[in-house]
A and B are shown apart, each in its own frame.
Chain A
Amino acid sequence: MNIYHVTREFDTFLKRENLSGYKDRIDSILEIYRERPGGLIPVLQQVQEHIKYLPPVVQHYIAMGLGVPSSDVYGVVSFYSFFTMKPRGRHLVRACLGTACYVKGIQRVIDKIETGFNLKMGGTSEDRRFTLQGVRCLGACGLAPVVMVDDDTLGEVDPSKIVKLLEKYE
């Protein structure tokens, strides 16, 4: 694929996802990090913040923008759990998989979320409202079991109340 193809596909993707407004922002991120060694991970973090996920067309565009092989970008995206290639919901629900949460029954909380919003661990609900992920210990063991919704930390979560708690997030 040449530069023309990559750019055209990226533009089509942004248009389809209603994200064309972010094009300039992404270009300026790439501009900032182009000459900086080790810039790939911060670029991916920032781009994902805007367009929520990193499918191959985005990876190709980033690779081109930074002047690195697409395989390197794919290698990094697939390695770190922070990056996702699948679309995410409007709200990211992260269930803590640490020991304390495990001992305090996080699995029952997860079961309730899965049945309550009809989604699977690692997946997104049909209406793209929630994405459910497991996360390495959040370090809030005093509050176990813990669920993080976007930047909110919910502690001492009662499995019978979690669906209701999540209803607040539109």
Chain B
Amino acid sequence: MERVYRTHILVCAGTGCVSAGSLKVRDALVREIEKHGLEEEVMVATTGCNGFCAAGPIAVVHPDGIFYKRLNVEDVPYFVEELLVKGRVVEKHLFAEEERNELIPVMNDIGFFKNQVLVALKNRALIDPDVIDEYIGRDGYVATSRALTEMSPGAIVEEIQKSGLRGRGGGGFSTGLKWKFCMETKGDVKYILCNADEGDPGAFMDRYILESDPHAVLEGMIIGGKAIGANKGYIYVRAEYPLAIQRLNTAIAQAREYGLLGENILGSGFDFDIELYYGAGAFVCGEETALMQSIEGKRGMPRPRPPFPAQKGLWGKPTVLNNVETYANVPQIILRGSAWFSSLGTETSKGTKVFALTGDVNNIGLIEVPMGITLRKIVYDIGGGIKNNRELKAIQIGGPSGGCLPASIIDTPVDYESIIKTGAIVGSGGMVVMDDSNCMVDIARFFLEFTAEESCGKCTPCRVGTRILLEKLKDITEGRGKDGDIEILETISRNIISSSLCGLGQTAPNPVLTTIRYFRHEYEAHIYDKKCPAGKCKALISYIIDPEKCTGCMLCKRNCPQECITGEKKTPHVIDQTLCIRCGLCYESCRFNAIRVE
């Protein structure tokens, strides 16, 4: 008989909370509870990532589902005393919504959580990812059992196809159709691969899923393996994700022990096993053919298609590659039916999408929303608006393959087709919110620096084209922009898109084209007026001390690394513009708002 506890304290053990000290908080809680002799009544457990990373370390206390943020070891005695001895809600660590200015104790009442719909993340903050029994306790592996013992490959593929699930890695290709092609290809040996080489700057969906619910991904792969007739799966995971690797290894070992991986799974006669493969740090390996080259031990460079991987993939055998989030959706579809899944989302984009919401927004974290939700709802209802009461300027969606969408089109619904119309792509799920202190030309330069560096060099349009774009953008941000530069950027971008070999090149100019489309005036200000309206591009700005406001406190003078600020105590200071390197330290250190950027 399992012991029944009156209270469960679930401490988040995602990367964010762990680095903020959540495991130390857990240990302190356990010690403190023992001190009060309550260990028979209260259970402390760790769970996968809660998603609300900005509020870490987080604990959720059940049965009431009260959400506590920013816990620390010093507060633990007080916390235990209040919560468990006196039986009160600990107000100090409750979440408060700025606008409403009230404390919100229950997790699911908080705007960040309330507006989400969980499918791929259904076990969020509820299970310990290192314990397979907890996953099974939440209907885990029921879908596998159904698929393996009751369904034919054709029936699985049909169910996935009917659900309308599309690839969550960015392409948005129908998963069911991909599986169907591979199922119909003849071959004794086939492979099913999972792309966990997450590399878009500003995206951490896959990391989250692997760390908090690794079995969901394994299950998706087992079902996919049965559907296409593969007995071997590989997960291509970044070596820079140590926690995800550790949890996957644990999950695979436990699944083998339970007979859910290996020979004759659940007595169905179906053999399947999964192996991890560590990526070696090349963004282009997120492209399917490049990823397969990499598993084969070669330089990860894409090859032309056809033949498509469904016919000739890894080691020349029929292969299916899907993204982590796509696999996490599969067991839910088998379990709850395609009709349920396709009732979520829009006409052409079914289900939900996980986004990594970051940047200048109040509530940073991982969210899952139904397709078709507007950007406004994501930024304001879930994200809690812009930090420090600044203005929303742009939303970067889709990483280096996507684009910057201006505040004026914030009512655009988030689904594959609507976002493509704006010039961006839904992509793998990075969503970076930017306030008015960001310069759009500088952001375009940032992304091109990334793609130019990560271009594998196989095809000329991408290798040379991205360099030219980058050089031009550098010229513009450093004050060397000329009349006609915008047109050159546009022409080269179009050429790269039409002639590159793989998705990396075909989408690399998107950040440039979208920023020109929506923020052309900023480019023009850089080129013609030699000014950076956001005050970000160092070559085009100067820091000036307002003599009216300067109190002569000497703080900026002491901080200046160039020692180019002069002035006596209690008299207004002056910056020598010829020596200033525009590091901005004076601007940040000034307590009187006396320094302005021009």
Residues of A within 8 A of B (CB): 37-42, 44-45, 72, 75-76, 79-83, 94, 97-100, 102-103, 108, 111, 135-144, 148, 151-155
Q: A39-B297, A97-B450, A141-B356 are in contact. Are A81 and B278 (CB under 8 A)?
A: no
Complex CA distance for A111 and B584, rounded to whole angstroms: 13
- For chain B, residues 421 to 460, give those with C-beta under 8 angstroms from any C-beta of chain A: 430, 432, 434, 438, 446-447, 450, 454, 456
Neighbour of B283 across the interface among A136, A143, A152, A153, CB < 8 A:
A136
A142 touches B364 (CB 8 A): yes
Give 11 CB contacts A-B under 8 Å. A37-B315, A41-B278, A75-B299, A82-B281, A102-B446, A103-B432, A137-B204, A140-B207, A141-B202, A141-B204, A144-B358
Closest to B449 in A: A97
A79–B280 Cα gap in the complex (Å)?
A: 9
Cβ contact within 8 Å between A137 and B200 = yes
Chain A: minimal CB distance from B439 (Å): 11
B406 at the A interface (CB under 8 A): no
Total interface residues on B, CB under 8 Å, equals: 56
Q: Is the CB of B297 within 8 A of A38?
A: yes
Mostly helix, strand, loop or mixed at chain B's interface?
mixed
Smallest Cβ distance from B23 to chain A, in angstroms? 13
Is there a chain A Cβ closer than 8 Å to B199's Cβ?
Answer: yes
CA distance A45 to B281 in the complex (A): 11
Asked whether, in the complex, the Cβ of B199 is within 8 Å of the Cβ of A137, the reply is: yes
B503 within 8 A of partner (CB)? no
For A138, list chain B residues within 8 Å (CB): 240
Chain B residues with CB under 8 A of A139: 15, 198, 203-204, 206-208, 241, 356
Known: A100-B359, A103-B434. A83 touches B201 (CB 8 A): no
A135 touches B20 (CB 8 A): no
Q: Which 4 pairs from chain A and chain B are nearest by CB?
A: A142-B53, A139-B204, A80-B280, A99-B202
Is the beta-carbon distance between A99 and B432 smaller than 8 angstroms? yes
Interface of A is mostly: mixed
**0/1 per residue, B315-331, Cβ < 8 Å to A?**
10000000000000000
Cα distance, A45 to B240, chains bound together (Å) = 12
Asked, given contacts A76-B298, A103-B360, A153-B15, whether A136 binds B201 with beta carbons under 8 Å apart, the answer is: yes
B118 at the interface (CB under 8 A from A): no
Question: What does the 1/0 interface line of B354-365 toward A look like (CB < 8 Å)?
Answer: 001011100011
B449 to chain A, nearest CB (A): 9
| Min C-beta distance of B56 to chain A, whole Å | 8
Q: Which of A82, A135, A142 contacts B54 (CB 8 A)?
A: A142
A100 closest partner in B (C-beta): B358
- In the complex, which residue of chain A has the Cβ closest to the Cβ of B283? A136
Q: Which residue in B294, B298, B438 is a CB contact (below 8 Å) of A103?
A: B438
A38-B297, A41-B280, A141-B356 known; A97+B201 contact, CB < 8 A: yes
Nearest CB on B from A121, distance (A): 12
Do the beta carbons of B297 and A154 come within 8 Å of each other?
no
* Chain B residues in 8 Å Cβ range of A94: 240
For the complex, give the distance between the alpha carbons of A81 and B285 in Å.
12
Contact in complex: B358, A142 (CB < 8 Å): yes
* CA gap between A100 and B396 in the complex, in Å: 10
Which residue on A lies nearest to B364, using beta carbons?
A: A142
Contact of A98 with B202 in the complex, beta carbons under 8 Å: yes
Nearest Cβ distance between residue A46 and chain B, in whole angstroms? 10
8 A Cβ contacts from B165-208 to A: 198-204, 206-208
